Structure 1
């Protein structure tokens, strides 16, 4: 009813009352803070005790618009502008857990569905990879799909490529439902689902898997011929013939090179590995693995990196270590229930050598691709972070309820492939972070 100039509390009386109000307000805030602290400590044991109730439920997150979170875009830009070496870091506890579980997507290979098969410990689901140099954000499925809008992403390689693909599909499915539009196999009773493709109508994104355990042309062993035959100078055209339709390709191979094989170059025998009874020179598999990567990357550069037309992004996933402790068919072959601590397990031997070869060939290919503005090439170095996750394999839970009739001394274990959800999800978090850096021209 009047301006501030006529305020009846203006003057000395007003100031005295203000001081008293401030005095009692301070005590009121202190009382409320102490009360909240008391109740937090009172209920925290109950929260901890009942935490397991949420462990089998996926945490679904959706990307929010910049209008809801005005600082999100700026924070993301600041993060990706910081150089990051994903190789070095540590696994930290993550109370949020995975985006999905064993029933929220229908693409998990049965042998990797540890939750559905009754694995009793769930602690392996609650870890997150934290690089030393940067913050690795939680996977954002809508961001991934937005970057790949109207494009085709292909995974090419062995069952580790499939492991990574299925992890990605399950995370993307929390934001957009994919449709299986193509599926083909050659009748192999051991390896099903060799060639598949999904389509995300929401963003017109295609995601494919091509079975090619050697990347180059190869003839797999049979019951009558107990060794593989690899042709090191020729790509496997089952996937290479589709290169002109692919916008991003993830290559992942390595484990099949450990098997007996005879190697050919220009249709002449170069040598062999573990070829008992064959009159060929033993040459091991390290150099051969390097040659196959060299042939693969060089051919991709020649076909898609030069000339006109759209370009291609190429990612090479490094070797994924196994964690067998003792015999593969003995109880407790991969018994870990939590990650190794830094320094507890060293990267050495075959794991270190296979990783080194992958990184070396990618760096060499980058030099050859410098003249091309149509090709981006990077290594997805997951060897060290995966080495620390001996707890993330299916073990005996590659089969449903393996101990329903009691514990037996002999039980088949899988200490190579990874449970889904599991550590492989971190591979795709890194992949997305690399893609965001590419989008900003920072890689």
Structure 2
């Protein structure tokens, strides 16, 4: 593909066969349909095993019959994060709030508490053990990179990540190797997931997207990838011209051009659908290496005022319950992603190979954390020489450590649930 090194000798296999225990008539005709309905239509609602948590073995915490990680609240937790800004060498400087002199630290001491279940602390050893000999790839925009760096920093507390590949402007294509478990973790810059030309200071002031073809910079490597985390959204807000079947489909915010204004919601949906369709078709075409796919939902920004007109995010505590509602663009973008993932789940069931897909629904919990962004500390010590009238703020990305660590915390719980299910199936096989 031009930006990745060959990945030879890297394989994984899963043989999944499903059987059902004999249930009573009541369970079969009443409880099971309800469980299936909730599993299909509610993110992260899943059956759990009747075992207690064990971080060394990767067991799922006993949470009752269902767990919805999307519904909960932030509670103060004096334990704090697994890492800090000085012990992890992979944080992009603009998100290293500690080293950049952010004076308050309370944003580090909050924990997400789901309403009806437990969310255990991230266990890096368990993550590496479950993903032994696997290749994990983050695909998307800078939010994908932000989540990737969070994961790397937490894993680095037990195993050193070795940078084995880098390419592209600003090192937008990178790969690390955890030798202790032979785990590869990559990031692929692909802000639209589909083929696109990004605007630049030398060209037109708008992006160009081709919604009927994926970005082959990541798609060409699918044979060597075992797990994908997709994350897009904010780049679709920029001016753009859209193409489909060789002709202009429409545009967004392009008054100077003679094209039909169609906004960005429909195109966002098309891009997600095309990416998921490609992954499912290519990885599901045979019964060889399967793949697990997460789609991280839209991450809200917290600018108070216009981002380029002294807009800031100066709050130092999470919103209280009921203080902020999910609405407008944030709600619409999340809804599109949830809907497309439900379609993908249905499509994945009809393929030959093993393809597991799951929504990583973080929009609501992220909306409640206006305190977790770098703000002016996207720059080192921005007020060292006094307070300026105009200081640019980053109210989109997340401090590391910070609330974004919770995204990977939830992702690990889903992986653990998958692992328990796989072991159950193996035991049921004749």
Secondary structure of 1:314's counterpart equals: strand
Greater helix proportion: 1
CA contact (8 A) 1:306 1:374 kept: no
Deviation, structure 1 residue 276: 2.0
Q: Which has the larger radius of gyration?
A: 1
**TM-score, normalising length from structure 2?**
0.83
Match of 1:325 among 304, 327, 330: 304
Query: 2: CA distance between counterparts of 1:71 and 1:386?
Result: 27
CA contact (8 A) 2:199 2:206 kept: yes
1:232-273 Cα distance to aligned partner (Å, 9 max, x none):
010000011001100000000000000011101111110000
1:182-204 Cα distance to aligned partner (Å, 9 max, x none):
01113xxxxx1200000000000
Match of 1:304 among 277, 280, 283: 283
CA contact (8 A) 2:191 2:232 kept: yes
Structure 2 gaps of 5+ residues are 1-51, 425-430
Residue 307 and residue 70 in structure 1: after superposition, are their counterparts in 2 closer, same or farther (change >3 A)?
A: closer
Residue of structure 1 equivalent to 2:354 = 374
Residue 345 and residue 368 in structure 1: after superposition, are their counterparts in 2 closer, same or farther (change >3 A)?
A: same
Give the superposed CA RMSD: 1.9
Match of 2:160 among 177, 192, 197: 177
Residue of structure 2 equivalent to 1:345 = 324
Secondary structure of 1:225's counterpart equals: coil
Matches for 1:1-400 after TM superposition, within 5 Å: 76-79=59-62, 82-186=65-169, 192-223=170-201, 224-329=203-308, 333-372=312-351, 374-400=354-380
Query: 1: CA distance between counterparts of 2:53 and 2:325?
Result: 43
Secondary structure of 2:171's counterpart equals: coil
CA contact (8 A) 1:139 1:429 kept: yes
Residue of structure 2 equivalent to 1:411 = 391
Query: 1: CA distance between counterparts of 2:101 and 2:53?
Result: 43
Query: 1: CA distance between counterparts of 2:89 and 2:77?
Result: 25
Residue 134 and residue 74 in structure 1: after superposition, are their counterparts in 2 closer, same or farther (change >3 A)?
A: farther
Residue 331 and residue 278 in structure 1: after superposition, are their counterparts in 2 closer, same or farther (change >3 A)?
A: closer
Query: 2: CA distance between counterparts of 1:357 and 1:329?
Result: 27
**TM-score, normalising length from structure 1?**
0.81
Deviation, structure 1 residue 275: 1.0
Secondary structure of 1:257's counterpart equals: helix
CA contact (8 A) 1:80 1:433 kept: no
Of the two structures, which has the highest relative contact order with CA contacts closer than 8 Å and spacing of 6 or more?
2
Residue 80 and residue 306 in structure 1: after superposition, are their counterparts in 2 closer, same or farther (change >3 A)?
A: farther
Deviation, structure 1 residue 332: 6.8
1:368-417 Cα distance to aligned partner (Å, 9 max, x none):
11123510000000000000000000000000000011111210100000
Residue of structure 2 equivalent to 1:440 = 420
CA contact (8 A) 2:59 2:420 kept: no
1:103-143 Cα distance to aligned partner (Å, 9 max, x none):
11110000000000000000000001111121000000000
* Equivalent pairs, count: 370
Query: 1: CA distance between counterparts of 2:58 and 2:209?
Result: 48
CA contact (8 A) 1:155 1:162 kept: yes
Secondary structure of 2:211's counterpart equals: strand
